[in-house]
Structure 1
């Protein structure tokens, strides 16, 4: 079940915060599986642009800007709903089920 954060009125602009889905609310942050990059790309000699980490099992896969899109493939194979950026300095998360950023 999603919860809605309250609207805030900042002068003339009204900002409505997005719903936070239940998957993002309950996502863990497991240690990454041992990998020096996208696990599948390393096995096949592929290349990646950015890395993403599954917040259910720690799988590290490549982003959708990468040719093979292994993080999304991992979601379709496993059903694990939430991943996060695995890039230094980035903390955002993505829920595949609800198409929600958190």
Structure 2
């Protein structure tokens, strides 16, 4: 976080549409997921850290897209993988 409390990675947020209805990588591999996260830079849908494969985190670190939003019903939060904090 910066001294004023605004994460500088919010600049990476774009208007995106989920590319799939499930974790893209789990669908390809045939593996299960627990919850879904939407990359706010490119629309990649990945599984959460409670899922066996943690594809949302892997995408953030390998591609460099820092912020995801929960795709779970009733949840409206965003997470920065770089700062490990809500934005």
Q: TM-score when scaled to structure 1?
A: 0.77
Q: Residue 8 of structure 1 corresponds to which residue in structure 2?
A: none
1:40-82 residue CA offsets vs partner (Å, 9 max, x unmatched): 1111110000000000000000000000000001011100011
Q: Does 2:24 correspond to 1:42?
A: no
Task: Tell me how far apart the structure 1 counterparts of residues 15 and 82 of structure 2 sit (CA, whole Å).
Answer: 18
* Count of aligned positions: 86
Q: Residue 78 of structure 1 corresponds to which residue in structure 2?
A: 63
SS in 2 for 1:53: strand
Q: Residue 20 of structure 1 corresponds to which residue in structure 2?
A: 6
Unpaired runs of at least 5, structure 2: none
Name whichever of 49-58 and 92-101 sits farther off.
92-101
Contact 2:60 2:66 in 1 (8 A): yes
Q: TM-score when scaled to structure 2?
A: 0.89
Unpaired runs of at least 5, structure 1: 5-18
Q: Residue 15 of structure 2 corresponds to which residue in structure 1?
A: 29
Q: CA RMSD in A?
A: 1.5
